[in-house]
């Protein structure tokens, strides 16, 4: 349609040039005097050139048309604007890049866009890329003896003698038309396969950069909130890549090239057009998805930092209004905030049964004792930290469920471990600052009238000590993250030790005892039945724990000892004062006669 319009314009131009040629056989002045509207009408006809070009370019922006319709529009632009095939190919690819931009802009412009919107957009633009590469092959790639569709369309023309039927003796018009056709054929040369391949490679990379760039002030991938949904997005995108339906319109062309039906059209298209094994996922999405996973990890630990305020928790330990706070009161006070071990666990020496899936009564008893000892505030903080670490780890493992699991593991394991270490270290620094303040306060108790009572200082110090002890020995997921990734298999396989006491897990895993080795062997044995990509990658990970784990344990232990040392020192001093006072009041010790 558009090519026919362009051809008609060219023939009209030829006729007009013959009529208006100054040195021709015709008297153009006489023609203008007899046909005064000719000049005006030609101006109207001349404007058709720009309109044909514009409408043809707009046609390239319409989606859902046949490849023949795009070939017609490309040929029309080439004729009206004197474009060679290289520029025509560039025009075609640029139009498709506009398709992608329009899709991304529509999705990113939705202020309420959810992850499903983003995933749909990613699948759509991937569809555009695959269809475009297939159509480039059909339009421009010379395979065997079959002429590409673009060349068929632009070079196809009826005999020139049939084009000027309304003009008597159109010899000059036919000559000009043949001259135009000869020039068109000389310009419309076959593009080399290597040029097509390199051009398409650059275009794919440009599209990839466009897909993951900021659109309307936001990154579309940021609407995906979790590693689990990143995994879902990857699965849907990969299904799109492998879909036969996406390249349905290219199947006939592929069949004509290979001589049989094609089951994996994209593989064939990239062999033909790109001359390589292009993995669109790795080329476009992989780095962006890994960066997004890192942001999700950051967000998880930032949420933990905001949720856990140990300073506020410590300063909630205050003297009740009207309560007398001295050493004697401290010794006889009831404890409601932790620090009391009212029962002893029994029969914890046998570790083998703990590997089962059923919790034992002794284990429940131990947990009750721990909760009573730590108190509600310490237990809450420990649980917040542990739950956050567990959520982040499980989310990461969901994301690792990919054919790229091994590569991701090498990048994301140290990243997760560093973020976990930094977050816990920040909490420890806050505890250290509070502990320093307590030491300063207890040293100035007699110098300042408004100083905090020593028993309250000691209570706060004991709170810090219990919290550090809980972190060091009963926060399973800190040790799990900073330990060997091999132990993460637990979250990609059936729960092997879901009910295992966290204290045993932490202490044994860190110290590398025979129990740890036995546990590791059991995990690996169970995992051999799993076909999970993440499991396979984890089983190939380094067996050693991160040095940061030992560093954290050392800091926790030292701070814990320091926290309890304040209590021990103060208690010893106060007991010494009582002993000295009692000794001074003992009549027997002051008697001059020997005691019998």
Q: What residue segments make up the domains of the chain, in order of their start?
A: 2-284, 309-563
What lies within 8 Å, CB to CB, of 169 at 6+ separation is none
Which residues does residue 219 pair with via DSSP β-bridges, in sequence order? 214
Cα separation, 515 vs 521, whole angstroms = 10
Most confident of 63-77, 306-320, 371-385: 63-77
Q: Kindly tell me the sign of the dihedral angle through the C-alpha atoms of 578, 581, 583, 588.
A: negative
Please give the structure tokens belonging to residue 285.
């999405």
Q: Kindly tell me the sign of the dihedral angle through the C-alpha atoms of 531, 533, 535, 540.
A: positive
Cα separation, 528 vs 237, whole angstroms = 29
- Among the listed residues 99, 102, 57, the one whose alpha carbon sits nearest the alpha carbon of residue 79: 57
- pLDDT (mean) for 495-515: 38
Cα separation, 479 vs 546, whole angstroms = 10
Most confident of 108-122, 409-423, 534-548: 409-423
Q: Residue 510, CB half-sphere, CA atoms under 13 Å: how many?
A: 25
Phi, psi of 219 (to 5 degrees): -95, 125
> pLDDT: is 516 or 65 the higher one?
65
Cα separation, 283 vs 129, whole angstroms = 12
For residue 25, the SS3 value is coil
Cα separation, 14 vs 8, whole angstroms = 10
Instruction: Give Cα 345 to chain centroid, integer Å.
Output: 45
Q: What Cα–Cα distance (Å) separates residue 580 from each residue in 97, 374, 572, 584, 587?
A: 89, 34, 12, 6, 13
Mean pLDDT of the chain: 82
For residue 412, the SS3 value is helix
pLDDT at 375: 85
> pLDDT: is 205 or 374 the higher one?
205
- Among the listed residues 529, 431, 444, the one whose alpha carbon sits nearest the alpha carbon of residue 472: 431
- Over residues 323-333, the pLDDT tens digits come to 666 776 777 66
Contact between 64 and 131 under an 8 Å Cβ cutoff? The reply is no
pLDDT at 40: 59
- Among the listed residues 439, 422, 473, the one whose alpha carbon sits nearest the alpha carbon of residue 302: 422
Q: Is the pLDDT of residue 582 over 90?
A: no
pLDDT at 496: 35
- pLDDT (mean) for 218-232: 94
- pLDDT (mean) for 282-308: 96
pLDDT at 523: 40
pLDDT at 167: 66
pLDDT at 455: 87
Please give the structure tokens belonging to residue 468.
């550090």
Other beta carbons within 10 Å of 229: 21
254, containing H or E segment: helix 251-258
Question: How many Å is the Cα radius of gyration of the chain?
Answer: 40
> pLDDT: is 120 or 320 the higher one?
120
Contact between 402 and 533 under an 8 Å Cβ cutoff? The reply is yes
- pLDDT (mean) for 400-427: 95
> Where does the pLDDT of residue 593 fall: very low under 50, low under 70, confident under 90, or very high at 90 and above?
low
Q: Is the pLDDT of residue 353 over 70?
A: no
What does the longest C-alpha to C-alpha distance in the chain come to?
A: 159
pLDDT at 164: 65
3-state secondary structure 428-470: HHHHHHHHHHHHHHHHCCCCCCCCCCHHHHHHHHHHHHHHHHH
> Where does the pLDDT of residue 285 fall: very low under 50, low under 70, confident under 90, or very high at 90 and above?
very high
What lies within 8 Å, CB to CB, of 542 at 6+ separation is 484, 485, 486
pLDDT at 23: 54
Q: Which of 310-319, 334-343, 373-382, 547-556 has the lowest mean pLDDT?
A: 334-343
Q: What Cα–Cα distance (Å) separates residue 326 from each residue in 40, 321, 330, 452?
A: 110, 14, 6, 11
pLDDT at 555: 96
What lies within 8 Å, CB to CB, of 18 at 6+ separation is 24, 26, 172, 173, 176
Q: Residue 113, CB half-sphere, CA atoms under 13 Å: how many?
A: 23
């Amino acid at each position: 349609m558009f090519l026919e319009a362009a051809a008609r314009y060219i023939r009209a131009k030829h006729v007009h040039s013959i009529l208006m040629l100054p040195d021709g056989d015709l008297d153009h002045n006489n023609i203008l005097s007899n046909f005064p509207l000719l000049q005006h009408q030609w101006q109207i006809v001349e404007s058709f050139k720009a309109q044909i070009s514009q409408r043809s370019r707009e046609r390239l922006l319409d989606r859902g048309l046949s490849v023949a319709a795009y070939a017609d529009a490309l040929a029309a632009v080439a004729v009206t604007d004197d474009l060679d095939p290289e520029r025509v190919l560039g025009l075609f690819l640029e139009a498709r890049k506009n398709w992608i931009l329009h899709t991304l802009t529509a999705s990113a412009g939705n202020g309420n866009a959810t992850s499903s919107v983003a995933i749909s957009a990613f699948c759509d633009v991937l569809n555009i890329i695959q269809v475009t590469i297939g159509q480039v092959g059909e339009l421009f790639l010379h395979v065997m003896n079959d002429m590409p569709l673009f060349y068929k369309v632009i070079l196809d023309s009826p005999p020139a003698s049939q084009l000027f039927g309304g003009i008597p003796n159109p010899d000059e018009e036919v000559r000009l038309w043949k001259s135009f056709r000869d020039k068109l054929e000389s310009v419309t040369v076959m593009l080399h396969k290597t040029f097509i391949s390199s051009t398409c490679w650059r275009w794919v990379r440009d599209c990839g950069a466009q897909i993951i760039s900021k659109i309307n002030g936001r990154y579309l991938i940021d609407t995906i909130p979790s590693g689990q949904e990143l995994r879902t997005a990857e699965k849907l995108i990969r299904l799109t890549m492998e879909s036969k339906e996406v390249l349905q319109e290219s199947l006939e062309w592929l069949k004509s090239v290979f001589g049989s039906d094609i089951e994996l059209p994209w593989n064939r298209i990239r062999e033909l057009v790109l001359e390589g094994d292009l993995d669109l996922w790795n080329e476009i999405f992989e780095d962006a998805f890994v960066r997004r996973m890192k942001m999700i990890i950051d967000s998880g630990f930032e949420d933990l930092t905001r949720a856990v305020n140990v300073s506020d928790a410590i300063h909630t330990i205050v003297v009740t209004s009207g309560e007398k706070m001295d050493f004697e009161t401290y010794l006889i006070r009831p404890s409601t905030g932790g620090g009391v071990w009212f029962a002893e666990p029994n029969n914890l020496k046998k570790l083998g049964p703990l590997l089962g899936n059923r919790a034992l009564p002794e284990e429940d008893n131990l947990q009750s004792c721990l909760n009573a000892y730590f108190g509600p505030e310490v237990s809450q903080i420990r649980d917040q930290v542990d739950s956050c670490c567990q959520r982040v780890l499980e989310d990461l493992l969901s994301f690792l469920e990919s054919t790229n699991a091994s590569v991701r593991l090498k990048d994301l394991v140290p990243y997760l471990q560093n973020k976990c270490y930094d977050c816990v270290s920040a909490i420890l620094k806050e505890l250290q600052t509070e502990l320093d303040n307590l030491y300063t306060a207890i040293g100035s108790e007699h110098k300042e009238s408004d100083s905090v009572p020593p028993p309250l200082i000691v209570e706060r110090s004991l709170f810090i000590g219990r919290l550090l002890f809980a972190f060091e020995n009963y926060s399973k997921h800190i040790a799990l993250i900073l330990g060997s990734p091999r132990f993460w298999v637990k979250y990609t396989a059936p729960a092997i030790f879901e009910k295992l006491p966290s204290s045993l897990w932490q202490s044994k895993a860190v110290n590398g005892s025979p129990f740890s080795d036995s546990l590791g062997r059991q995990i690996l044995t169970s995992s051999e039945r799993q076909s999970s990509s993440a499991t396979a990658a984890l089983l190939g990970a380094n067996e050693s724990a991160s040095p940061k784990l030992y560093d954290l344990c050392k800091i926790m232990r030292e701070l814990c000892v320091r926290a309890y040392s304040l209590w021990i020192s103060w208690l010893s001093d106060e007991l010494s004062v009582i002993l000295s006072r009692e000794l001074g009041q003992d009549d027997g010790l002051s008697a001059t006669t020997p005691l019998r």
